Every structure is written in structure tokens, then in C-alpha cells.
Amino acid sequence: MPDKRILLVEDDEDVGALLAVALEGDGYEVDLAKTAAESWARLAAQAYALVIADWRLPDGDGSVIADGAAELGAKTFIMSGYLPELPTDRRGGHRCMMKPVRLDSLLAAVHGAIGKPSAEGAAS
């Protein structure tokens, strides 16, 4: 279901895996990219409802990826442990979250941005 598909851009393998498990456990479809190059390839191949990008990547700037994703119609988050250093002009239109992020806070932000996934077969 592309309307609930998330691209998670995170170069720290452990952090990416933890966030992906939390999002998938909540019912979202998640694709994980570790580099800017991989992110661009995924954005070219698939539509996403939300792109969550780490700001500092080994081969690029996550805010530029967020800008590109927004131009494609995705909601966007930028996460970083260095958020105070992110220039104000790079934040425009993106939700910014400080790492480490609490999983409940992340899920609440995702629900607010793109809604909760439909719980097929779940009791109402």
C-alpha cells in the first residue's frame, strides 16, 4: 500500500534496524537506505508517503533528499543528533526530530503525518 510506505534513510545500521522494526510493527511498509545514492535510487523507483532522512550521511545531505522527496509529494522528516547545527534554511517544510528519538514520539509523528495503517483483520 504506497499511501503508507516509508523510506527510512539512516546510515547507522543498528538505528535503522530499530526504527524500521518499530515502524513495520505498527503496520507500515518500510524501505531502508543507508546512503544518499541508495535513497535517490529508491525515490526514482517507488512512491513514498513519508521519507525520514538522517541529516548527515556518508555521501550526502539528508535535507537535500528530503527536499527531493517533498517535490515528489512525500511528507518529510529530518532526524539528526546534530539538529542544532542544521542551518535554518535547510529545515524548510520538513519536520525536524532530534536523535535519539523516542519510538513512541516517532510513531505519533508518523501517524500525524500520514495516518495509521489500516489494520486488516484487526478488531475495531
Give 31 or 120, the one with higher predicted confidence. 31
Q: Domain boundaries in the chain?
A: 2-114
Architecture of the 2-114 domain: 3-Layer(aba) Sandwich (3.40)
Contacts made by residues 109-116, CB under 8 angstroms, sequence distance 24+: 109/77, 110/6, 110/23, 110/26, 110/28, 110/50, 110/52, 113/50, 113/75, 113/77, 114/3, 114/4, 114/6, 114/49, 114/50, 114/75, 115/4, 116/26, 116/27
Using a pLDDT cut of 70, give the percent of the chain over it.
94
What does the pLDDT read at residue 120? Answer: 54
Predicted pLDDT of residue 88 = 76
Per-residue confidence (pLDDT) for residue 107, from 0 to 100: 97
